[in-house]
């Protein structure tokens, strides 16, 4: 069963297939109305989509299972080739989404005992409706932009995580998203709740093969970080260069809590993504380390947002953009220190490396500080590949291509250092292959 085109009937059909409760269908229909009312984003790259050509839903290839042996062998081997299955050993748990549905979920027994929940959003809506309702759409509003509304109307798949109070996960939880059909839309919806005094590292990976028809990825991620809790969300997106990647990610951070986004953008034709921390509680902190590596006609419009509300809050944004071979990697970010956020501090550092004349990197920072008792620092650099550095490396026998690669990888080393070992190795290999 494949559902193509956007209309009320199709939305009802998706809801029916999922056998949803009424509140969810109502929510979808309300979101669809909002979608029709809202305009395309008024900033950033021009987005050209024929919403009626997109596939909004593709039936399960598999029932959700917790054992790879129960997964359709051809799909299993696809994930084997991607290294997804072998990476599971480093994780506390793993989920896999294929097209519209989550097909695999598994977690360490000890976490089940600790009452950690890691499942798909659909299962969570059925099994834990009151927990879901408490946070769902409370962090990212449906009317926020055209694509959050679209996600509300047709969302399918995505992870639901609940970490109970006083629980620390030693190893990360990972979700892997794969689009495999052309003109496919993936609209996952992720909700993560890290209750008080707890700690989570969540990793998200995504890929898709290249097709002539563009695919659309419009996800919404909501994260709640409770008092004294810590959450880190690591993503490296390597979508094919015809995927439109328009994602809204936000975390609300309570007192003494801490949220970190580690956000890598390498693939997609256009990306618009600005992970956000709302520093609501006093003494809370937020950090975002983001990189964009744009090649050919790619436009990566990414950055971060930090909204300071609580007292003594602090935030850091580190953005590294690399543009080469006609790519455009730009920083767009917002830091706002509200009047209430006294004694707070924000730091923004964005560096871009423009490798050749045909490439572009711009910065669109918005920095607002509404109280004299707080401070905001902004630092930006634009650089080119340094001839002296190239000469030095080449004078030791390294070819120009490899020397350039070393300099570029060095430029984003701050980011790579933040990744788990296997990911760092993979990222370097991926970039070497692309460079």
Nearer to another protein, 33 or 386 (CB): 386
Identify the residue among 109, 397, 421, 433 touching another protein (CB under 8 A).
397
Count of CB atoms within 10 A of residue 357's CB?
8
29 binds another protein (CB under 8 A): no
Q: What is the H or E stretch that residue 414 is in?
A: helix 413-416
Count of CB atoms within 10 A of residue 339's CB?
13
Which residues inside 415-434 make contact with another protein, applying CB under 8 A?
none
CB 203 within 8 Å of CB 172: yes
Q: Is 312 left (phi over 0), alpha (psi -120 to 50) or beta?
A: left
Residues 6+ apart with CB under 8 A from 68: 76, 85, 104
CB of 389 to another protein, least distance (A): 5
CB of 318 to another protein, least distance (A): 13
CB of 409 to another protein, least distance (A): 7
CB of 379 to another protein, least distance (A): 15
388 binds another protein (CB under 8 A): yes
394 binds another protein (CB under 8 A): yes
Identify the residue among 47, 108, 240, 407 touching another protein (CB under 8 A).
407
CB 385 within 8 Å of CB 404: yes
Q: What is the H or E stretch that residue 235 is in?
A: strand 230-238
Q: What distance lies between CA 72 and its chain's CA centroid?
A: 27
402 binds another protein (CB under 8 A): yes
Q: Which stretch binds another protein (CB under 8 A): 67-75, 235-243, 276-284, 411-419?
A: 411-419
Closest to 406 measured CA to CA, from 394, 420, 423: 394
Nearer to another protein, 39 or 397 (CB): 397
138 binds another protein (CB under 8 A): no
CB 134 within 8 Å of CB 89: no
Identify the residue among 52, 375, 377, 391 touching another protein (CB under 8 A).
391
Q: Is 81 helix (H, G, I), strand (E, B) or coil?
A: helix
Q: Which stretch binds another protein (CB under 8 A): 84-92, 244-252, 371-379, 387-395?
A: 387-395
Count of CB atoms within 10 A of residue 285's CB?
24
Q: Which stretch binds another protein (CB under 8 A): 58-66, 116-124, 170-178, 399-407?
A: 399-407
Which chain residues interact with another protein by CB under 8 A?
Answer: 386-389, 391-400, 402-403, 406-407, 409-414
């Amino acid at each position: 069963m494949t559902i193509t085109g956007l209309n009320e009937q199709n939305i009802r059909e998706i809801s029916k297939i999922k056998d949803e409760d009424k509140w969810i269908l109502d929510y979808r229909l309300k979101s669809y109305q909002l979608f029709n009312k809202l305009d395309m984003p008024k900033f950033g790259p021009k987005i050209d989509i024929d919403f009626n050509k997109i596939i909004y839903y593709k039936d399960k290839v598999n029932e959700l299972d917790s054992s790879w042996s129960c997964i359709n062998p051809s799909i299993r081997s696809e994930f084997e080739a991607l290294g997804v299955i072998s990476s599971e050993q480093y994780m506390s748990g793993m989920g896999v989404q294929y097209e519209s549905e989550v097909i695999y979920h598994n977690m360490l027994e000890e976490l089940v005992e600790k009452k950690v929940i890691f499942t798909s959003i659909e299962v969570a809506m059925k099994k834990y409706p009151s927990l879901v309702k408490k946070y769902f759409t409370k962090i990212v509003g449906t009317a926020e932009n055209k694509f959050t509304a679209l996600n509300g109307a047709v969302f399918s798949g995505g992870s639901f995580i609940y970490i109970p109070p006083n629980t620390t996960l030693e190893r990360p939880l990972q979700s892997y998203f794969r689009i495999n059909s052309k003109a496919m839309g993936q609209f996952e919806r992720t909700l993560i709740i890290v209750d008080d005094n707890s700690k989570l590292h969540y990793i998200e990976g995504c890929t898709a093969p290249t097709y002539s028809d563009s695919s659309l990825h419009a996800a919404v991620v909501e994260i709640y970080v409770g008092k004294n809790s810590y959450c880190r969300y690591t993503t490296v997106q390597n979508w094919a260069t015809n995927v439109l990647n328009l994602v809204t990610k936000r975390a609300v951070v309570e007192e003494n809590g801490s949220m970190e986004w580690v956000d890598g953008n390498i693939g997609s034709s256009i990306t618009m993504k600005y992970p956000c921390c709302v520093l609501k509680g006093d003494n809370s902190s937020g950090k975002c380390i983001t990189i964009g590596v744009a090649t050919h006609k790619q436009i990566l419009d990414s950055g971060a947002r930090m909204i300071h509300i609580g007292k003594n809050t602090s935030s850091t944004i580190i953005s590294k953009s690399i543009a080469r071979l006609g790519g455009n990697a730009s920083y767009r970010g917002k830091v706002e220190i509200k009047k209430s956020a006294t004694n707070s501090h924000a730091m923004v550092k964005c560096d871009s490396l423009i490798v050749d004349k045909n490439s572009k990197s711009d910065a669109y920072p918005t920095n607002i500080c509404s109280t004299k008792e707080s401070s905001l620092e902004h630092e930006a650099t634009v650089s080119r590949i340094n001839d002296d550095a190239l000469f030095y490396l080449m004078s030791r026998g390294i070819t120009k291509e490899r020397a350039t690669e070393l300099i570029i990888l060095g430029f984003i080393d701050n980011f790579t250092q933040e990744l788990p070992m296997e990911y760092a190795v993979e990222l370097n290999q991926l970039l070497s292959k692309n460079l």
